[in-house]
């Protein structure tokens, strides 16, 4: 699945199912009230930028990937930048030899940017950055460096560490069920 960096996000137009893993597992589903822009939806057939990101960037990006799972129901994304397809015998969640992160992943992440603007990236972006040297747009790098996925946001939705949730967001705590 390819989307150009900074193009408007349109993959899931049904609202977001946002899972916060920082404090147990909490789900909130809502229709975003901000603009969503794509970052890191790479495919081998489309050119992408490689380069050296600030060291702190990869560290912070992986913390976000660990903290969030958005729209996981949309299925598995497989990296096709890797030189060979993953053999069926290789579990998708296990990194390939020599890689730091798995070359397939489910779901997306959300990174708040400037006011009212949020970046939408596949969770596989961690693999693209650390194993393929993908260099995302500077506006995304700045947003990742500025966002603390363990920070406190939105007292109305305890445990959901994300800004700008609409009043009609539907919060569910897995441990309540």
Residue with tokens 């903290």: 67
Cβ neighbours of residue 50 under 8 Å, at least 6 residues apart? 132, 133, 134, 135
- Distance CA(75)–CA(56), nearest Å, equals 29
Q: Distance between CA atoms of 137 and 172, rounded to whole angstroms?
A: 34
Give whichever of 21 and 58 is closer to Zn ion, judged by the CB atom. 58
Cβ proximity to Zn ion, 97 vs 155, nearer residue: 97
> Minimal distance in Å, beta carbon 103 to Zn ion?
4
Q: Assess 28 for contact with Zn ion (CB under 5 A).
A: no
Q: Which of 177, 155, 172 is nearest to 26 (CA)?
A: 172
- Tell the smallest beta-carbon distance from residue 42 to Zn ion (Å): 9
- Residues in 78-107 at the binding interface with Zn ion, rule: CB under 5 A: 79, 81-82, 103
Q: Segment near Zn ion (CB under 5 A), from 21-29, 39-47, 71-79, 152-160?
A: 71-79
Between 44 and 63, how does the x/- string for binding to Zn ion read (CB under 5 A)?
--------------------
Nearer to Zn ion, 81 or 145 (CB): 81
CB 138, min distance to Zn ion, A:
23
The answer to whether the beta carbons of residues 8 and 35 sit under 8 Å apart is yes
Stretch that binds Zn ion, among 34-42, 53-61, 72-80, 161-169 (CB under 5 A): 72-80
Strands 35-38 and 117-122: parallel
Euclidean distance between CA atoms 96 and 99, whole angstroms: 5
User: Min. distance of Cβ 40 from Zn ion in angstroms?
Assistant: 12
The CA distances from residue 118 to 15, 128, 133, in Å, are 14, 20, 23
- Residue 85 C-beta: closest distance to Zn ion, Å: 11
Which residues of this chain interact with Zn ion, rule CB under 5 A? 79, 81-82, 103
């Amino acid at each position: 699945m390819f989307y150009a960096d900074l193009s408007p996000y349109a993959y899931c137009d049904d609202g977001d199912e946002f899972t916060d893993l920082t404090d147990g597992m909490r789900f909130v589903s809502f229709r975003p009230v901000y603009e969503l822009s794509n970052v890191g939806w790479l495919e081998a057939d489309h050119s992408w930028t490689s380069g050296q990101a600030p060291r702190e960037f990869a560290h912070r990006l992986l913390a976000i990937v660990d903290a969030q799972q958005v729209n996981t129901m949309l299925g598995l994304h497989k990296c096709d930048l890797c030189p060979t397809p993953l053999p069926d015998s290789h579990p998708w969640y296990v990194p390939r030899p020599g890689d730091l992160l798995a070359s397939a992943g489910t779901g997306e992440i959300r990174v708040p940017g400037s006011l009212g603007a949020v970046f939408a990236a596949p969770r596989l972006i961690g693999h693209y950055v650390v194993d393929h040297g993908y260099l995302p747009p500077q506006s995304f790098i700045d947003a990742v460096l500025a966002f603390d996925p363990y920070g406190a946001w939105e007292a109305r939705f305890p445990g959901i560490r994300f800004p700008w949730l609409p009043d009609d967001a539907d919060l569910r705590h897995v441990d309540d069920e």
